[in-house]
Structures are given as structure tokens and as C-alpha cells.
Amino acid sequence: MNKATYTKEVPEDRVQLLEVIVRESLKGPLKVMIVGGTDSGKTTLLTFLANELLKDGIRVAVVDSDVGQKSILPPATVSLGIPDGPFSSLSEVKPLAHYFIGTTTPAEYAGETAVGVKRLVDIGMKHADVVLIDTTGFVTGIGAEMKRLKAELVKPDLTVLMGKEGELDGLAARLYPYTSVVSLSVSEQARIHSREERREIRRRKWEEYFKGSGIVEVDLRKLAPTGTAMFQGRPLSDDEVGIFSEVFGWVVFAGWKGEGYVVVKADRGDFRIPKRSSLHAVDFEKLSNLLVGFIGPSGLCLGVGILKWLRFGDMRAEVLTPLDEGILENAVELRFGRIRVLETGEELGLLRREEL
Ligand SMILES: Nc1ncnc2c1ncn2[C@@H]1O[C@H](COP(=O)(O)OP(=O)(O)OP(=O)(O)O)[C@@H](O)[C@H]1O
Ligand SMILES: [Mg+2]
């Protein structure tokens, strides 16, 4: 299941990079971000560096921000792990903290991803001499902008770019103002994984995370529902609900009036809302099996769950999660994600940010 494992058979430039990191870490805690396209060998490099540093008695923290192909569970979050000794795969490293992103494709969540990485790097710096940051393979277009945002916020002492000759020059130019950049070759051993292989890797990770989960009932008057336009403003009156049902031909489950109207509905007709309308309609079916995050008082994520049922009448949600009572009692928010997934790991679909 793990693509990247510890190997000492790495190109010579990795050994030189290690020497630089060891030397620089003697001057104070060091932040190193690893960036490159998909399957360029980022996680393999991180695993090599972490193990070699640990062997030298240097304390290491890992921030895994590859939301689509996480090594440290759960998926769809950014996670901080502190390895207490050598490891063969990053997935063995126990997590210390998470930040909820809520989707496996972070393009619309660049802000959350950058903030999550920054917060976890700050925590990692208190525990380690070197913080290693793994990132998604999304390095062109918006992906490049996301890397810039991360670099601007986190200010890594060093960013390692892994790409073929000239491939990441444009990205390097964006990063230079905020971090030192070194370029590494792509290992000849690096192997491309197909979409199907990636999906299967993700499937197994979801399945592993949700193994042994149970349903918990969440009182949304105690845990604030966030990450969505729903639940803001005053609830609609019965008359208003009646008007929406009649005019649009919807079954209306709930609605709120703030600056505009937000309505949760199921379609009976095929009425389309004009763009730029102040009415925001949420499809009830998109809420089933939606990924949600349990958020603690400091804004960090305690773990994730799958929304199985939402009862607007008494503001209760049924959520499947592996988290136990002791952890859940620290939650103050239930944050809505943008991927629908089953506990078997089957992904049912991604939602656009604006859909909820
Ligand atoms: N130095 C190496 N020696 C042997 N295999 C390698 C090496 N570098 C990469 N690989 C192999 O290439 C594949 C991709 O590597 P890896 O998973 O580290 O890339 P990545 O950039 O982290 O990918 P992703 O974008 O999916 O996160 C893996 O199967 C890995 O085992
Ligand atoms: Mg990786």
C-alpha cells in the first residue's frame, strides 16, 4: 500500500543534500519543504532524509500535506508526525496533530492548506531540529500558486525541487523571494503510478482509517457546523419554506435567511436557479456520506468522520467515525468537507467549494 519506502540506494545529490541539512540544523531548527511533480520521489526522499537524520541523533518532525496521497492518516487533512526512531514507511509515523482540509484535491482549498501547513510546522519546530514538509505533486497552474502561498507563509529555510531538467524553473522563480531553492534530479528508479493505482492506494487508506468505526450522534447546537453556507442567519418560517416548495417545485428540508437565502432541497422538477441569484440551494443528496472533520478548540482537527444522516428538525447529525468519546468531547466544531466517501474507501465524488 505504501509507494515510498526507506532506501539507501539514492542518487548522490541526496547525500550532499543530507550533509547540508545536518550542517545547517546545528545552527538552529530548520524547515525543509519538498516539492515536485507526481511520482517524482518526494516521499522517498523525505523518508531517506528523516531516517538518516534520526540515525545521527537529530530530532525530526514531518508535516504531510499531500492531501490526495497522504502517508500519515487520515486522508484529506494535513498532518504532523514525530518519528521516535527509524521507520521504513512514513505511514508508520504516529500523528501528533492534524488540520482539516476536507478534500483530496486542494485547488479550491489553497488557503486552508497553507494555513494548516504553517500551524503544524510551528508545532513541529517546538519538537524537532529539522521539520520536513511533504507536498502534493500539483506543481503547475494553481498548484504553483499554492506552493508560493505555502512558501510565503512558512518561509522554509530550504525548498527542494525535484524535477527533470528545466521542468520546474517557473516554479523556482515564484519561490525565490521566500526560501532558498535547491534542485534535485528525479531518481531513475522513480516509478509512475496510474490513476487507478492511486485511487486504489487512497481506497485502502480510507478503509484503514475507518476500520472499527461506529456511529456517533452529534448535537449541532453544541458542535458548531462550519465550512458551509448552511446554518447561518435565521431559520426560514414555514410560510417561506412553502413558497420555495411551490415556486421551485422542491422538497425543502431546511433553510436560512442571512444576507441571502440558503435552502437545502431535493429536486422534483428541473428548475434552475439563475446565476448571481441571492439564493443558494444545497442538494440534500450531496450531504450523504460527506466527509466531516471534528475540530478542537484550537482549530486543529481531532479526526474525521462520514456524515450518515442530518436531522435539521432537532439539529442532530449521525456520523461514522473511529474517534472515541474521550476525544470527541473535546470537539467544538463539525466542519463540512467536499468529498463523499464510504467506509470501504470507495469515493463517491468531489464537490465544488460553492456547492455547500
Ligand atoms: N530513489 C529511489 N529508489 C527506488 N525507488 C524510488 C526512488 N525514488 C522513487 N522511487 C519509487 O518511485 C515511486 C514514486 O516515488 P514517491 O512515492 O516517493 O514519489 P512522490 O513524489 O512522493 O509521489 P506522489 O506525488 O504520489 O506523492 C515509488 O514507487 C517509489 O518507490
Ligand atoms: Mg508522496
For 8-34, the pLDDT digits (tens) are: 888 889 999 999 999 999 999 999 999
- pLDDT, residue 271, reads 63
Whether residue 2 has pLDDT greater than 80: no
- pLDDT, residue 303, reads 98
Whether residue 274 has pLDDT greater than 70: no
- pLDDT, residue 67, reads 92
Using the mean position of ligand 1's atoms as its centre, give its distance from the Cα of residue 191 in Å.
6
Whether residue 255 has pLDDT greater than 90: yes
Pocket test for ligand 1, best of 189, 192, 205 (most atoms within 8 A of CB): 189
For residue 61, what is its C-alpha cell?
Answer: 518532525
For 314-327, the pLDDT digits (tens) are: 999 999 999 999 99
Strand runs labelled E in 16-76: 30-36, 60-64
Residue whose CA lies nearest to ligand 1 atom number 11: 190
- pLDDT, residue 244, reads 87
Is 271 exposed, middle or buried (CB count within 10 Å of its CB: 0-12, 13-18, 19+)? exposed
Using the mean position of ligand 1's atoms as its centre, give its distance from the Cα of residue 189 in Å.
8
For residue 244, what is its C-alpha cell?
Answer: 420555495
Q: Could you tell me the pTM of the whole model?
A: 0.94
CA 336 to chain centre: 13
Q: What residues does 35 pair with on adjacent strands?
A: 161
- Ligand 1 — pocket residues by CB below 6 A? 3-4, 7, 9-10, 36, 38-44, 66, 69, 137, 187, 189-191
Cα–Cα distance for residue pair 29/20, rounded to 1 Å: 13
Q: 12-197 maps to which CATH number?
A: 3.40.50.300
Nearest atom, ligand 1, residue 11 CA:
1
Residue whose CA lies nearest to ligand 1 atom number 4: 189
For residue 169, what is its C-alpha cell?
Answer: 524553473
258: CB partners within 8 A, 6+ apart? 232, 233, 234
- pLDDT, residue 166, reads 84
Find the range with the poorest average confidence among 197-211, 212-226, 272-286: 272-286
Residue whose CA lies nearest to ligand 1 atom number 29: 3
**Mean pLDDT, rounded, for 256-276:** 80
Report the C-alpha dihedral over residues 107, 153, 95, 106, rounded to 10 degrees: 0
Q: What residues does 349 pair with on adjacent strands?
A: 340
- Where are the chain's structural domains? 12-197, 212-356
Nearest atom, ligand 1, residue 137 CA:
25
**CA nearest neighbour of 190 among 164, 160, 158, 169:** 164
User: pLDDT > 90: what percent of the chain?
Assistant: 84
Using the mean position of ligand 1's atoms as its centre, give its distance from the Cα of residue 324 in Å.
35
Helix, strand, coil % (nearest 5) of the chain? Answer: 30, 30, 40
Main-chain dihedrals φ then ψ at residue 307, nearest 5 degrees: -75, 115
Main-chain dihedrals φ then ψ at residue 177, nearest 5 degrees: -65, -20
> DSSP string of 261-277?
EEEEEEESS---PPTT-
For 101-142, the pLDDT digits (tens) are: 999 998 999 999 999 999 999 999 999 999 999 999 999 888
